[in-house]
Structure 1
Amino acid sequence: MTITLPPVPHRGRLTVLALILPLAVLVVALGVAIALLPQLPNPVATHWGPSGTPDGFGSPIETLVMLTVIVVAFSVGMWALGFFLGSSASTRRLSVFFALWFAAALSGLLVGSLVMQRGLSDASQAPGIGLPLGLSFGFATVLGALAAALMPGDAHQPTTTPVPADAERLPLGPGEQVAWVRTVEPPHLTWLIGGGAVLAMAAIGLGLLGATTVGFTFGITMALLTLAFSLFSRWTVTIDREGLRAHTVLPRPRTVVPLDEVESAEVAEVRPLPDFGGWGYRIDSTGRVGIVVRAGEAILIHRTGGRQLLVTVDDATTGAALLNTLADRARMR
């Protein structure tokens, strides 16, 4: 069976932001690292243990080669994702963000670790990696977010084609207004958040008691990950006369599908791992975007431009039927 992928706009800008810019960051990092080589011990420290002291060492040249291979491979992969499957703006922006974030985070971390080892005769004397880790990850996040913001959104693509006659509808009286709202979250969300919070506090406490930057850094990282998980795991889905809107606890990120871009909606069964490779905001091998919070029923929306959006949510049958009915009404405005 031949799969026809929907068209992808803004491929030129995507290539600049998701491929050329990450590789430029890598080149700058390699230039700085090569300039530092005469001042570095050989081998250099390449890994730090829980105590905050180096426990892994390697050749500086081999370390730079490994960085190059990993960053180039990841950047090409993210660029290919957006270039071939980026029919939706969210896919293009995610590919830009992660390509640049990964290149900047890894390159910054390596350069930072090498700067700390300048002038040392023995790499085992290198200080903890906590500061370079925090600075490189923070800088990478800001840089990735700015680059993603430069990626244009989707152009409005309205349609006047009627919703297929065999699509499910929800009977509504003339002039009757309806809003359908559901909230969906992963199973056992409270336990997951609680477990992450306990682990983070334990790691921070152990780090402070043992005066180790690695333990403290791990605890802070776990705390931030737990916070992010709690903010972005619960989604609210609304269907009304404006269309479909899906958002997390925060106003952003959110996904909006106007009624005049809905070709049809139906119910689909989702298996997160086989269908999308996991949970969260996902893209499958055909470019279909999925808000996959759990397994089970979902609303599958066929949009103009060959795009598809799938949202796992309870009572998907009612939601899909209402969306078809409201899309019919929108054609008659």
Structure 2
Amino acid sequence: MTPQKIFRSVALWLPLAFIALCGLLQAAALPLLPDPIVSQWSLAGEPVSWRPAWEALVSTVVIGTVMTASLYSAGVAAAAHRHHRIFAGLSWMILMLGPPMFTVIVVAQVWTTRLNLGQAFLASLFSAMAVAVAAATHLPPFPEGRRRRDPRQWSGATAADRLAPQATIVVAMCALLGASAVVLAALGMAWWVISGPLLVTAFSSAQLITIARIDARGVSVRAPLGVPRLTIPLREIESVELTRIEPLTDIGRLGWNARIGPPQEGVAVRAGEGLRIRRTSGVDFLLATDDAPAAERMLGAQLAAERALRQ
């Protein structure tokens, strides 16, 4: 799949399918619901206002569809600047805070009006953060297209392209698990058994993708969420060479190992070709990255330019 199709799947078709599922559940419950249904509860859990059952269904479908289509369109427009991930994550963040809550409030009234909405909102918030992180971090960058690439810099995302084909499945599973947590919370059951691990897993998986950048300032490496982040100024680099990196033996772990001290540190979310950056401090930095030869050439050119300026 192309990056455009993956983005369309994660940020448009999958959210619309999720909205349709919530709408179908509400529609199936309509014949069994009292009319009107409770629409608002007091802090003590007592019903204080009512409305027709069909209004929640219409609100879920219309508001969810308009919001999803709008954020998808904004993401397509922002893709040239590689900001489409933000809109995918924002779309799912808003989506998980709305339709699951509306659906639980409606469908649960087939049996009871005693709902724990405070815990349900917390479960929605945890689930929304988890799904938003999964959607935003597993999307690959769009190709450069007609936008002119700056020849003085290099950037690349390691593992994003390999994880991207599974992005739709990952986001769908997170969304369904998150919605299940909301249901459990509304019924007063142990929702954190799902929401807690889901949130931890989403943030942990985000660290398995690194975005590296080389320009006149030096080398910067960051996770898609911006943290962790590491920058090596050009003045602190002596040389660079291509090398084969084995994370467990070279830096002691798979992922980030940016400790301060000899003999070497690095970032490697997978084994394979990468860069060995020799620093003036004597501590080598290993960076496993896609398109390592191009990165090595760019950093070498920047080092040469830096030394020419010093002379």
Q: What is the TM-score of this pair, normalised by structure 1? A: 0.44
Answer 1 or 2: higher relative contact order, Cα 8 Å, separation at least 6: 1
